[in-house]
Amino acid sequence: MANIKSAHKRIGIADRNKLRNRVYRSTVKTILKKTLVILNNLEVADKVFIQSHVSLAYSSIDKAIQKGTMHPNTGNSKKALVAKHLRNRLTIGIS
């Protein structure tokens, strides 16, 4: 345990930031998982529904990058994964 007042404060700030970062990371993981399930499900044929989920995935990734929770390269990698699945979905021709 820290003896210096500023060290106590930094411990509190680190805990607060850890919780905040966990929310953003969890949101990205959840939305990304749902989006990939929708893209891989051939029964979903609504283009607007698919596009809204892809847009939501991009938005959540961009927010995590903007808040500093996720490194920009990691975010770009995740967006590329979504784009790859979307491209595969479009080449199948069922969307």
Q: Determine, yes or no, domain membership for 18.
A: no
Scanning 41-71, the segments in alpha helix (DSSP H) are: 47-67
Write out the residue range of the structural domain in which residue 65 sits.
23-92
Look up residue 4 and give its DSSP letter: S
Domain count of the chain? 1
Predicted pLDDT at 91 = 86
Per residue in 7-37, pLDDT tens?
999 999 999 999 999 999 999 999 999 999 9
Whether the CB-CB separation of 78 and 61 falls below 8 Å is answered with yes
Could you tell me the pLDDT band of residue 61, with boundaries at 50, 70 and 90? very high
pTM of the model: 0.83
Predicted pLDDT at 28 = 98
Q: Determine, yes or no, domain membership for 1.
A: no
- CATH number of the domain to which 71 belongs: 1.20.58
Q: Determine, yes or no, domain membership for 8.
A: no
Could you tell me the pLDDT band of residue 52, with boundaries at 50, 70 and 90? very high
Q: Determine, yes or no, domain membership for 14.
A: no
Q: Determine, yes or no, domain membership for 69.
A: yes
